[in-house]
Structure 1
Amino acid sequence: MAADRTGAESPARAAILGGIRRTAGALRDAEAARAAVAERLAAHPRNLIPARTALPPGPLVELFIAKARSVAATVERVAADGVPDAVADYLAGRNLPARVRVAPDPALRALAWDRRPALEVGFGPARPDDAASVTPALAGIAETGTLLTASGPGHPTGLTFLPSTHIVVLPVERIVGSYEAGWDLLRAAGDMPRTACLVTGPSRTADIEQTAQLHAHGPGRLHIILVDGTAAAHG
């Protein structure tokens, strides 16, 4: 690896020394890099926000519904006490078993599930034989009809991915215009969760012969129950 007869470094020596110089430079800049990351995390800079999301609450809800339906989700609006009926009727209307695994969120637990005695309701993490789940959502993002969910004791992450049918309960007052507004709600909720999920329609892929297939890596059905007049779920 010594210099050749002309005094020039060999390619191997130049590569080694170049790597050492880059590493030394990176170490010198590490403190500045950490400071830059901390500043960015504290500032929460905004990206470009679509003008179509600058709407009053009513039209914003309608935009969310339209966007969610455009990506093959189904949506209905109910009163504060209508969630158990909406869940039972949705399953019956699609000839699905009258059995759901519900996230142990306090607001979901407090619902009058016994109004539908034929509906078998279990609370807790997803099990291998669960065909349908009911979970809360932290926010609905009207920009793309996307749901933002946060994991925690009241919302085991597996309920979002394992059952083939995912039913989400979302208070209308938690519909926001942009992704940035959704992240604001997440930060305001307290400590960052282990997992935050963005769900836009049912799971799908077009990897196989460029043909869209539902239920690829998660639920093949996504049903959103918008609840008027209550913060029924918030996880």
Structure 2
Amino acid sequence: MAMDYAAIARNGLWDNNVVFGQLLALCPLLAVTGTATNGLGMGLASTAVMVGAGLAVSVLRKVITPQIRIPAFVLLIACLVTVVDLALNAWLHDLHKGLGLFIPLIVTNCAILGRAEAFASRYEPLAATADGLMMGIGFTVALVALGGVREILGSGTLFADAAVLLGPGFGFLERTVIPDYQGFLLMILPPGGFIALGFLLALKALADRRSRPDETASAAPEKVFTAAGVLTRQTPESGETP
């Protein structure tokens, strides 16, 4: 059976987005998104782990027995997180200090373990790698979007200190969106993260609703169980149960 990679991409980026679709990984999401720069760094680190975990689990899916699959998946993810943690400490030390404890805590990100169990353990390596990449990019987009909103409203900047935290190559991202802005401290604090996340979730729900045609009028007859447990059908036009 041919794999639908377009569906995998849409699933990871939008329909089943780690944050906006599944509401997972909210702890690092709210903790590190005081700026878009931190969100981008955390997202890239998580994406690297997701891709590696998807590939490793898929390659070893026929070797790992079902009885020990969860501990084995956690061990694989922990190894990948250790590699990413050491790499950030070596080459992006300022970003490593900024993200702090949340890099090792990628091990506990239920989205990574969930994709390993639900997808990578059942499909071939190429599809599992694509799924990990799309899920990681979707997670990164959510982190950057939330971090960008909070940073703009909180301090009037966007991707502040990107050249320092991510390297000189990211310096072009730094922007002053609102000059001479005194800042709104609440948006940088955790309560501001909850408020911004709520608005972003509402915008996604609105976009999903507008992208789908109204199915109420043309819906097929619904199956309805009455109080007596009798299965009937109800048409949306009449509301009657023949």
* Shorter-chain TM-score above 0.5: no
Higher RCO (CA 8 Å, separation ≥ 6 residues):
2
TM-score bin, normalised by smaller chain? under 0.3
More helix by share: 2
